[in-house]
Structure 1
Amino acid sequence: MLVLILSVVVLLAIGGCGCVFWAARGDAPRWARGVAKATLLGSELTRSASGKSRTQSGQDISSSSDS
């Protein structure tokens, strides 16, 4: 069951990336541009959520102690 759910998630992610590529070319229909916009929004939300969790746990990658 878990494999089925993960497979669906991976297929949706691949489809979303395909729509982003298609929309970037400029000849995509309106529904593909909408899927691309939703995919990019989801990636930004995921990126910001993972950045907050890293900062809150004290594992911020951007801060280095080279001195």
Structure 2
Amino acid sequence: MLVLILSVVVLLLVGGCVCVFWAARGDAPRWARGVAKATLLGSELARGANGRSRSQHSGGDD
């Protein structure tokens, strides 16, 4: 069951990356541009969460 869930997540991530590439080319339909925006927003949120956790861990040593 866990393998199935992880496979679905990986397929969604790959699909999002394809939509980002397609939208960057400029000839993507509206739904693909929406998926690309959602993918980029999710990546920014993940990057921001990673940066906050790093700054909390490394900031207390001084």
State TM-score, norm by structure 1. Answer: 0.85
Give the residue type in structure 2 aligned to 1:38.
A
SS at the partner of 1:58? Answer: helix
User: What CA distance in whole angstroms lies between the structure 2 residues aligned with 1:12 and 1:57?
Assistant: 31
Q: Which has the higher contact order (CA 8 A, sep 6+)?
A: 2
The share of aligned pairs that are identical, in percent, is: 81
Specify which structure has the higher proportion of helix.
2
Correspondence 1:13 to 2:13? yes
State TM-score, norm by structure 2. Answer: 0.91
Deviating above 2 A after TM superposition, structure 1's stretches of 4 or more consecutive aligned residues are none
Report how many aligned residue pairs link the two structures. 59
Structure 1: runs of 5+ lacking an equivalent: 60-67
Structure 2: runs of 5+ lacking an equivalent: none
